[in-house]
Amino acid sequence: MAGTIQNQDKFLNKIASRLGRERISSPVERPDWKYRPQDEVLKNASQDELVDVLKKQCANIHTDFYETEKKDLPEVLEQIVSSYGGGPVITWKDDRYAQWGLESLFKKEWPKNNIEVREWDFENGEESIIKAESANAAITISEITLAESGTTVLFSDKDKGRMVSFLPATYIALVPKSSLVPRITQAAQKMREMQQETGRVPSCINFITGPSNSADIELNLVVGVHGPIKASYILINDL
Amino acid sequence: MAMKIGSNEFNERVGQGIDDAFMRGAVSGAQDSMGVRRSNAAEELGNWEDWRSHGEEIRQHVLEHLDYYLEQLSKNVAELGGHVFFAETKEEANEYIRGIAQKKQAKKIVKAKSMVTEEIGLNAVLEEEGCKVIETDLGEYILQVDDHDPPSHIVVPALHKNKEQIRDVFKEKLGYKKTSKPEELALHAREMLREEYMTADIGITGCNFAVAESGSISLVTNEGNADLVTALPKTQITVMGMERIVPTFEEMEVLVSLLTRSAVGQKLTSYISVLTGPREAQDADGPEEFHLVIVDNGRSDILGGEFQSILQCIRCAACINVCPVYRHIGGHSYGSIYSGPIGAVLSPLLGGYDEYKELPYASTLCGACTEVCPVKIPLHDLLHKHREVIVEKEGKAPISEKLLMKSFGIGAASPMLYKFGTKFAPTALNPYTNGESISKGPGPMKAWTDIREFPAPNKERFRDWFKNRKKEENAHGRDDSESR
Ligand code: SF4
């Protein structure tokens, strides 16, 4: 359903007249910018070098960094969740968890140990939000990972609710090594390609860099304000 | 609260600012730590000047083609199912938003920090409508709980309050029982606000940068409050100043990078959310209805004139964090939600010379602001231009610089203020230098040198000065505040 636009012409005509010209009616070409410093950052860095940069940056952003092979992922994840005090855990509805060998942990081991595993279910939206709100840990997957800033990028869709990453007390991101890029520049380029190929991007793209924090009280850093209080990234080497 | 804060005359506000010892300690501490973080974050890149030039060329291009990009943005937002309202005045913007609140029979509205909604005085309008309006940014929440105390900094709004004051406010208004530890205070706010997000009818946000090509808006926070504000209520209203737009995601990322490094010295803040339209079919969270309100409120009058470059501003506060006058008088003295150099240039343009004619004089014209601005706005030139306009209009300066400097408490013992006003001074002043002190200075310093003799600016450039400032201030015993 298309939306509405009100008061546009008068408003834009005034802008054009202040700029001393007619309204622009033909497409403006994106300029060839004179400066492009963003391309120089970590230029030609290998995937292993990017891992090093990410690892170091995690220390700056109060985020624990783990590295593992796919086969050991369940064990690492289990340790992190118990160090966070256990469940309930909330996940997206996403086949990749099973492909990465987590099915048995989610469906058998954790429930057996009284760690409840909840899955986002868009058909029961309200309930999913409430389940996320009372969850202790969120397990998400980073679609693009920015080495320079230590950022995980999440794309929302019906099976990947926005609130999975925000409401629980702690945040865990699974990071395939192949998702690493130098910086936000490459993510922006991918988003643009996606927009041009499919006509739109997901309604919510989140760039998440460590836990929620604030320095609003006497500039003291407080970690964990509205969103998660702790964060961990698990880099999966063979993905 | 609208753009204007307080009803006192400029002189009185400045006096109050200078008398508030905690505020002044907080401001100088904040300037030091944020200033150092910014300059580290900039230097780390190695080619910061290229970044600034790129930021500048993007912002200039956008302003020159603003009608085109706004049209592209609104077309894309509408195609996604969002509603766009162009508001020429603050009244138009407020009425439109009031209308939505009525239609939704909204009782509770949560907000994520937005300067433009402060500028148009939106909260008061919604409260008049019977809505409970809750600011969710921790700093703004504190101010709101304290009977709408005005903000004193555009990035750290409650900078002028110490933790004991905050504890007392929480105690009195929220039944808080714990200590003044920031962690405990923040946790209490978290608990109070969680409840509000879950039950709010409408979420209102500002907009750091809208993206014309995709119809997206981006929000930059550390707390994550903007995400909760936009994901939980059924209706989202985003209010943007009309100039806060970029062509594509590729320019967005450059400006976001400049913003986070300049504002808080971070490579990126904890949360950057790019929101495109209302929720998609079948999504269980995100707004069902999305409204974008694009506000002019005096901005178009700035376009095409000699102050156009101020619209390049990305509200990072870097200029505030280095300003020696802000350091001395604090944010409230400016009488506007926009303080510091950006406020001294912007407030007279948006709020009129009658109200703000003193502000362009609240500057040493030292150029420190211009030097740090990530989008290369020539702030001190614009302040100078303001003075020319004012003198031409009024036939004289509205306030003698002598009096002004006196009211800043800069009369007798404040050599620090001049030590770094030296971007051009080391050469320009040389002819006037008489050993260690200057007796007659050119230009802006002239009126001041009438008051007293100043130590000669040394050759140290601002950047070096900034690094050494801590050391020097200790050596000088911070006498600029104590020995008035
Ligand atoms: S004028 Fe420049 S330095 Fe000041 S807030 Fe705006 S962008 Fe930042």
pLDDT confidence of B62, banded at 50, 70, 90?
A: very high
> Which residues between 177 and 236 in chain A have a beta carbon less than 8 angstroms from any beta carbon of chain B?
183-185, 187-189, 191-192, 195, 200-220, 222, 224-228
Position A224 scores a pLDDT of 78
Same domain, B298 and B163: yes
pLDDT confidence of B137, banded at 50, 70, 90?
A: confident
Place of tokens 């504890």: B167
Q: Is the pLDDT of residue B30 over 80?
A: no
Q: Is the pLDDT of residue B395 over 90?
A: no
Residue A181 lies in a domain: yes
Same domain, B71 and B203: yes
Position B29 scores a pLDDT of 77
ipTM value for the complex: 0.95
Q: Which residues in chain A are closer than 8 Å to B84, comparing Cβ atoms?
A: 3-6, 8
pLDDT confidence of B409, banded at 50, 70, 90?
A: low
- Segment A65-80 mean pLDDT: 96
B245 contacts: CB under 8 Å, gap ≥ 6: B62, B66, B69, B70, B73, B209, B210, B211, B212
Domain total for chain B?
2
User: Which of B67, B113, B260, B290 has the most A C-beta neighbours within 10 Å, making it the best mutation to test the interface with A?
Assistant: B67
> Which residues between 5 and 34 in chain A have a beta carbon less than 8 angstroms from any beta carbon of chain B?
5-8, 10-16, 18-20, 23-24, 28, 30-31, 33-34
Residue A193 lies in a domain: yes
- Ligand 1 mean position to B253 CA, how many Å? 17
pLDDT confidence of B408, banded at 50, 70, 90?
A: low
- Segment B38-61 mean pLDDT: 91
For the domain that residue B275 is a member of, what is the CATH number?
A: 3.40.50.10420
Position B38 scores a pLDDT of 85
Q: Is the pLDDT of residue B418 over 70?
A: no
| Sign of the torsion angle spanned by Cα atoms B124, B241, B40, B253 | positive
Structure tokens at B358: 């003193």
Q: Is the pLDDT of residue B104 over 60?
A: yes
Position B433 scores a pLDDT of 33
Same domain, B293 and B403: no
pLDDT confidence of B404, banded at 50, 70, 90?
A: low
DSSP letter assigned to residue A160? B
Q: Closest approach of chain A CAs to the CA of B457, in angstroms?
A: 32
Position B96 scores a pLDDT of 97
pLDDT in tens, B423-432: 333 333 333 3
Higher pLDDT among residues B403 and B87, named by residue: B87
A36 contacts: CB under 8 Å, gap ≥ 6: B54
DSSP secondary structure of A60-99 = HTTEEEEEE-GGGHHHHHHHHHHHTT---EEE-S-HHHHH
Domain enclosing residue B195, as ranges? 10-302
Q: Is the pLDDT of residue A170 over 50?
A: yes
User: Which of B72, B216, B271, B321 has the most A C-beta neighbours within 10 Å, making it the best mutation to test the interface with A?
Assistant: B271
Position B402 scores a pLDDT of 62
Position B400 scores a pLDDT of 64
Contact B353, B345 (CB under 8 A): no
DSSP secondary structure of A176-214 = EGGGEESSHHHHHHHHHHHHHHHS---SEEEEE-SS-EE
Residue B357 lies in a domain: no
Residue A8 lies in a domain: no
- Segment B325-350 mean pLDDT: 88
Position B476 scores a pLDDT of 40
Distance CA B123, CA B2 (A): 9
Position B450 scores a pLDDT of 32
- Ligand 1 mean position to B429 CA, how many Å? 28
pLDDT confidence of B406, banded at 50, 70, 90?
A: low
Position B407 scores a pLDDT of 55
Same domain, B286 and B424: no
- The chain B residue lying nearest A169, using CA atoms, is B190
Higher pLDDT among residues B483 and A149, named by residue: A149
Closest alpha carbon to B359 in B351, B369, B368:
B351
Closest alpha carbon to B49 in A186, A35, A183, A185:
A35
Closest alpha carbon to B34 in B186, B299, B261, B222:
B261
pLDDT confidence of B132, banded at 50, 70, 90?
A: very high
pLDDT confidence of B84, banded at 50, 70, 90?
A: very high
What string of H, E and C letters represents the secondary structure of chain B? CCCECCCCCHHHHHHHHHHCHHHHHHHHHHHHHHHHHHHHHHHHCCCHHHHHHHHHHHHHHHHHCHHHHHHHHHHHHHHCCCEEEEECCHHHHHHHHHHHHHHCCCCEEEECCCHHHHHHCHHHHHHHCCCEEEECCHHHHHHHHCCCCCCCCCCCCCCCCCHHHHHHHHHHHHCCCCCCCHHHHHHHHHHHHHHHHHHCCEEEECCCEEECCCCEEEEEECCCHHHHHHHCCCEEEEEEECCCEECCHHHHHHHHHHHHHHHHCCCCCCEEEEEECCCCCCCCCCCCEEEEEEECCCHHHHCCCCCHHHHHCCCCCHHHHHCHHHHHHCHHHHCECCCHHHHHHHHHHHHCHHHHCCHHHCCCCCCHHHHHCCCCCCHHHHHHHHHHHHHHHHCCCCCCHHHHHHHCCCCCCCCHHHHCCCCCHHHHCHHHEECCEECCCCCCHHHHHHHCCEECCCCCCHHHHHHHHHHHHHHCCCHHHHCC
Residue A37 lies in a domain: no
Position B455 scores a pLDDT of 33
- Find which of B53-67, B148-162, B405-419, B450-464 is predicted with most confidence, using mean pLDDT: B53-67
User: Which of B62, B159, B270 has the most A C-beta neighbours within 10 Å, making it the best mutation to test the interface with A?
Assistant: B270
Residue B347 lies in a domain: no
Pick from B142, B250, B285: which is nearest to A163 by CB? B285
Q: Which of B256, B282, B302 is the last residue of a domain?
A: B302
pLDDT confidence of B281, banded at 50, 70, 90?
A: confident
Structure tokens at B40: 């580290």
Same domain, B79 and B198: yes
Residue A3 lies in a domain: no
- Segment B229-235 mean pLDDT: 92
- Segment B51-58 mean pLDDT: 97
Domain total for chain A?
1
Position B45 scores a pLDDT of 83
pLDDT confidence of A41, banded at 50, 70, 90?
A: very high
- Across chain A, mean pLDDT equals 94
Give the percent of chain A with pLDDT over 70. 100
Backbone angles phi, psi at B393, to 5 degrees: -70, -45
Contact B417, B368 (CB under 8 A): no
Which region among A16-20, B247-251, B347-351 has the lowest average model confidence (pLDDT)? Answer: B347-351
B398 contacts: CB under 8 Å, gap ≥ 6: B357, B358, B361, B390
Position B363 scores a pLDDT of 82
| Sign of the torsion angle spanned by Cα atoms B23, B28, B32, B35 | positive
Position B442 scores a pLDDT of 33
Residue A16 lies in a domain: no
Same domain, B298 and B409: no
Distance CA A61, CA B347 (A): 36
pLDDT in tens, B155-182: 888 888 888 889 999 999 998 999 988 8
Q: Is the pLDDT of residue B438 over 80?
A: no
pLDDT confidence of B89, banded at 50, 70, 90?
A: very high
Q: Is the pLDDT of residue B304 over 80?
A: yes
Q: Is B459 exposed, middle or buried (0-12, 13-18, 19+ CB in 10 A)?
A: exposed
Higher pLDDT among residues B464 and A159, named by residue: A159
Closest alpha carbon to A35 in B51, B267, B251:
B51
Helix-, strand-, coil-residue percentages of chain A, each rounded to 5: 40, 25, 35
Which residue minimizes the CA distance to atom 6 of ligand 1? B313
Same domain, B298 and B406: no
Which residue minimizes the CA distance to atom 2 of ligand 1? B373
Higher pLDDT among residues A130 and A190, named by residue: A190
For the domain that residue A215 is a member of, what is the CATH number?
A: 3.40.50.10420
Q: Which residues in chain B are closer than 8 Å to A146, comparing Cβ atoms?
A: 268
Q: Is the pLDDT of residue B151 over 90?
A: no
Q: Which residues in chain B are closer than 8 Å to A35, comparing Cβ atoms?
A: 50-51, 53-54, 57
Q: Is the pLDDT of residue B19 over 70?
A: no
Q: Is the pLDDT of residue B361 over 90?
A: no
Do residue B163 and residue A218 have CB atoms under 8 angstroms apart?
A: yes
Position A180 scores a pLDDT of 97
Backbone angles phi, psi at A91, to 5 degrees: -130, 170
Distance CA B293, CA B205 (A): 10
- The chain A residue lying nearest B53, using CA atoms, is A35
- Segment B330-345 mean pLDDT: 88
Structure tokens at B482: 């104590």
Residue A191 lies in a domain: yes
Residue B245 lies in a domain: yes
Higher pLDDT among residues B483 and B27, named by residue: B27
Structure tokens at B192: 């109070």
Which region among A204-213, B292-301, B387-396, B463-472 has the lowest average model confidence (pLDDT)? Answer: B463-472
Residue B435 lies in a domain: yes
Distance CA A140, CA A237 (A): 17
- Across chain B, mean pLDDT equals 81
- Segment B327-349 mean pLDDT: 89
> Cα torsion for B243, B248, B249, B253, to the nearest 10°?
-50
Domain enclosing residue A75, as ranges? 44-236
Which region among B199-208, B293-302, B392-401 has the lowest average model confidence (pLDDT)? Answer: B392-401
Give the percent of chain A with pLDDT over 90. 81
Q: Is the pLDDT of residue A96 over 90?
A: yes
- Number of inter-chain CB pairs under 8 A, A vs B: 308
Same domain, B83 and B219: yes
